[in-house]
């Protein structure tokens, strides 16, 4: 049986899925047709239920949970992993508590969890331009935008380019809730047979565990998609985004996701959920 599988080319995703798609583990008769896309493209594909299994932002998942169920494995949650709001003009750093509403913000997508966190911290910043996440730094350097909301490996490269951090929205979230930040999860189409859904969940957990047991096993695959990152930066990225929550969400992981969804409902950003978002439990 062949299933379509969407994830980003970022090191955390390629690290997680390497063993699965390259048959380093027993895939129990399943084959995977891989689709590489940035997270916002994957979000929109999920809205249209284009893929059997996909990575998406938790914010986006709130808008398509009736089509997909959240797997217990493969998610990206953690402490100290949140999006950063950055700028080229240092005066914005000094005025971080009074940022002008007219400032144009480059964001990695309307339905990203990063944009949701920006809306919580700075609800008045509504002048936004959607960009591919990897283009946000250059947009700031070329002064096409005033502020930039960065995610993924750009967290490690912005300062080298003369850009400045205004606020770490991850730290903001952690102080506000005491929870890990739910960034992205792996979901599966509810139309698939339950046995297939459970098998995929089990296989992704095995793939993550394989990667943890042999972290360099997927090095060539990770490098192939890592946008010229050094090996050191690649593994810094992986250490931030792949952790115990990627193996299994557990009680604390689910709590963090529930807090995010409850807050979104309270602020009127999403409709009340009609049923469980989880595959298991």
pLDDT at 113 over 80: yes
Q: How far apart are the first and last CA of the chain?
A: 26
- Do 2-78+182-266 and 84-177 come out as alike in CATH topology? yes
114 has binding-site annotation: yes
- The residues, ordered by sequence, that sit 6+ positions from 19 with a Cβ below 8 Å of its Cβ are 25, 206, 207, 210, 211, 217, 218
Q: List all residues 6 or more positions away from 169 whose beta carbon is below 8 Å from its beta carbon.
A: 82, 83, 84, 85, 114, 117, 118, 121, 149
What are the structure tokens assigned to 36, written together?
Answer: 């590489």
Residue 57 annotated as lining a ligand binding site: yes
Q: What is the mean pLDDT of residues 162-171?
A: 94
Which residues partner with 33 through β-bridges? 4
What residues does each domain of the chain span? 2-78+182-266, 84-177
**Residues in Cβ contact with 242 at an 8 Å cutoff, skipping those fewer than 6 apart:** 12, 15, 16, 76, 208, 211, 212
Of 25-34, 92-101, 116-125, highest mean pLDDT: 25-34
Question: pLDDT tens digits for 207-249?
Answer: 999 999 999 999 999 999 887 778 888 888 899 889 999 999 9
Which two structure tokens, joined as six digits, stand for 195? 């046995």
Residues forming a β-bridge with 2 = 31
The partner residues of 53 in beta bridges, in order of sequence, read: 5, 188
Quick check: 281 pLDDT over 80? no
128-130 and 76-78 strand pairing:
unpaired
Mean of all residue pLDDT scores within the chain: 93
Residue that wins the pLDDT comparison between 272 and 75 = 75
CATH class for the region spanning 2-78+182-266: alpha beta
pLDDT at 19: 98
What share of the chain has pLDDT > 90, as a percent? 73
Catalytic residue among 98, 152, 237, 275: 152
Q: Please name which of 15, 89, 4, 92 lies closest in space to residue 53, comparing C-alpha atoms.
A: 4
Give yes or no: 98 in active site: no
The C-alpha atoms of residue 135 and residue 121 are separated, in whole angstroms, by 23
| Mean pLDDT, range 40-57, rounded to an integer | 95
Query: Annotation-wise, does 45 bind a ligand?
Result: no
Would you tell me which CATH number, out of the four given (3.40.190.10, 3.30.70.260, 3.40.50.300, 3.40.30.10), belongs to the domain 84-177? 3.40.190.10
């Amino acid at each position: 049986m062949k299933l379509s599988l969407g994830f980003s080319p970022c090191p955390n995703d390629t690290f997680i899925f390497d063993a699965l798609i390259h048959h380093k583990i027993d895939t129990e008769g399943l084959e995977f047709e891989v689709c590489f896309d940035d997270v916002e493209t994957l979000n929109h594909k999920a809205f249209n239920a284009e893929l059997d299994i996909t990575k998406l932002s938790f914010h986006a998942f709130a808008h398509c949970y009736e089509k997909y169920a959240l797997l217990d494995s493969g998610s990206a949650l953690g402490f100290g992993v949140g999006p950063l709001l950055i700028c080229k003009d240092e005066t914005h750093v000094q005025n971080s508590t009074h940022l002008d509403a007219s400032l144009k913000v480059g964001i990695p997508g309307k339905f990203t969890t990063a944009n949701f966190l920006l809306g919580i911290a700075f609800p008045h910043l509504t002048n936004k331009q959607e960009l591919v996440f990897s283009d946000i730094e250059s947009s700031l350097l070329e002064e096409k935008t005033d502020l930039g909301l960065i995610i993924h490996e750009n967290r490690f490269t912005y300062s080298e380019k003369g850009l400045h951090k205004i606020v770490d929205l991850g730290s903001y979230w952690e102080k506000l809730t005491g929870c890990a930040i739910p960034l992205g999860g792996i979901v599966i189409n509810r139309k698939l047979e339950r046995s297939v859904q459970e098998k995929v969940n089990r296989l992704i957990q095995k793939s993550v565990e394989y990667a943890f047991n042999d972290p360099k096993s997927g090095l060539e695959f990770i490098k192939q998609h890592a946008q010229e990152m050094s090996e050191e930066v690649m593994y810094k990225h992986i250490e931030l985004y792949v952790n115990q929550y990627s193996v299994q969400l557990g009680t604390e992981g689910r709590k963090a996701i529930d807090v995010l969804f409850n807050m979104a409902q309270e602020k009127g950003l999403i409709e009340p959920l009609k049923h469980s978002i989880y595959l298991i439990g």
